[in-house]
């Protein structure tokens, strides 16, 4: 008796891909991602609503005086002073962007392409320091220039990173001298 070898039991093989199920999973995944982004956007808007007590930012004076320092780099955001994870999003302060900082006798001008510019009057400046992080950005020790300033009844920390990090110590020294001179004149 010769053994019979069955190579294929059925005439037709099973389908390799179940396209309707795959498309269903893909649509479900896309809907889930859209839901997550929508919830993130609503959370951002809710945070701005909670911070609606922050007054409008001052405009740049017509004649700010001679330029003391200028720097190009990145603006990484603003937080409540001393609370590096409490991001402030009102008036566009939460929008990360490229930035050009200009320090004059009148204060600190922050020009941001693609985002709202803002100005920090010299009388509002409180402190400048090097730090390692602010909400959403952590760098090596001393990699971030943090400027503390008063706006309304709130103290705000704003974080900047120069294109040339070697400029940071000069900015800290100049800003702190300017703050001490301003406080001495009050």
Domain ranges for the chain? 67-185
Strand 87-88 versus strand 67-80 pairing type = antiparallel
The single residue listed with the structure tokens 């999003």 is 89
* DSSP reduced 3-state for 151: strand
Residue 23 scores a pLDDT above 90: yes
For the chain, the 3-state helix, strand and coil shares in percent, each to the nearest 5, are 30, 35, 35
Number of other residues whose CB lies within 10 A of the CB of residue 137: 16
CATH 2.30.29.30 fits 67-185, yes or no: yes
Write the CA distances from 13 to 7, 16, 17, 19, 22, integer angstroms.
Answer: 12, 9, 12, 16, 19
Give residue 12's pLDDT: 67
* DSSP reduced 3-state for 81: coil
> Which pTM was predicted?
0.75
Tens-digit pLDDT profile for residues 109-163: 999 998 888 999 999 999 999 988 887 777 778 789 999 999 988 899 999 999 9
CA distance 32 to 40: 12
Number of other residues whose CB lies within 10 A of the CB of residue 166: 7
Give residue 29's pLDDT: 97
Give the highest mean pLDDT range of 29-38, 78-87, 102-111. 29-38
Kindly indicate the confidence band of residue 65, based on its pLDDT and cuts at 50, 70 and 90. Answer: confident
| DSSP-derived secondary structure letter, 18 | -
């Amino acid at each position: 008796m010769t053994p019979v070898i069955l190579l294929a039991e059925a005439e037709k093989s099973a389908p390799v891909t179940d396209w309707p199920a795959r498309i269903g999973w893909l649509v479900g995944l896309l809907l889930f991602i859209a839901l997550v982004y929508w919830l993130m956007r609503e959370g951002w808007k809710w945070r701005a609503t909670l911070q609606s007590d922050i007054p409008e930012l001052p405009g740049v004076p017509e004649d700010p005086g001679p330029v003391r320092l200028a720097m190009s780099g990145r603006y990484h955001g603003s937080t409540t002073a001393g609370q590096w994870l409490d991001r402030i999003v009102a008036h566009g302060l939460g929008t990360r962007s490229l930035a050009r900082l200009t320090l004059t006798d009148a204060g600190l001008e922050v020009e941001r392409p693609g985002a709202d510019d803002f100005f920090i009057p010299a009388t509002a400046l409180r402190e400048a320091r090097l730090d390692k992080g602010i909400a959403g950005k952590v760098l090596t020790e001393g990699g971030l220039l943090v400027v503390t300033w008063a706006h309304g009844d709130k103290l705000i920390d704003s974080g900047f990173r120069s294109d040339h990090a070697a400029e940071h110590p000069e900015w800290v020294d100049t800003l702190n001298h300017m703050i001490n001179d301003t406080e001495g004149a009050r």
